[in-house]
Amino acid sequence: MDPSTSNAAALAAVPIRPAPIRRDSGNKFTRPGDRERYEYEKAKASTARQRTRGSGTRKRERRFHQLREKYDQVTATNEHYQQDLERANAKMKALQAEMDLLLDAMSIALPSEPVLERFYNEPIYGPPAPSPETPSDFAPPLQYFAPAPAPDAPYANGAYRAQHTSNGHAGSHPRPPSPSPPPRDDR
């Protein structure tokens, strides 16, 4: 086999990487075609940035329109419910007026119809609940039970009535002496 053909086959299998863009110190491109390639890459990067910015704007616009449609839908539903509520209130007022008219007609017909009087005078919710008895109905006044305790008599729970002191206020007791501190041991 010819070494030149085997080498060419091996080179064909390896992908060719693009050469890096080189500049010299004078900001000049060293190879022909580098300037065009540089400008192409620069333009490609700037359009990618513009697309990124534009897509964010489009996303916001799309989201705004979605939210606007949802708002319009909710507003329309709310208006529909408000109209239904107005119709129901009007119907309720008409029924109330009809009931008032029927009650007026019934009150006119009551003296001549004893059957209606029985239904008209019956309580709707059953007999009223008995009222609770007041304490004066079932218990005698307190002074009949036992005499008031004497001023120095103990209370039922064992506590003593507060003693009057020289200033005349109840509950003003002299303070008990505070315990003395333990002796210090200075050795």
Q: Is 181 helix (H, G, I), strand (E, B) or coil?
A: coil
Q: DSSP letters along 97-163, please? A: HHHHHHHHHHHHHTTT-HHHHHHHHS-SS-SPPPPPPPHHHHS--HHHHSPPPPTTSPPTTSPPPPP
**What residues does 164 pair with on adjacent strands?**
170
Tens of pLDDT along 42-70? 888 777 666 655 567 888 999 999 999 99
Residue spans of the chain under pLDDT 70: 1-33, 48-55, 110-179, 186-187
The pLDDT assigned to 165 comes to 47
In the chain, domain spans: 32-121
Residue 125 CB-half CA count within 13 A: 2
Is residue 29 a contact partner of residue 22, using CB atoms and an 8 Å limit? yes
pTM: 0.31
The pLDDT assigned to 93 comes to 96
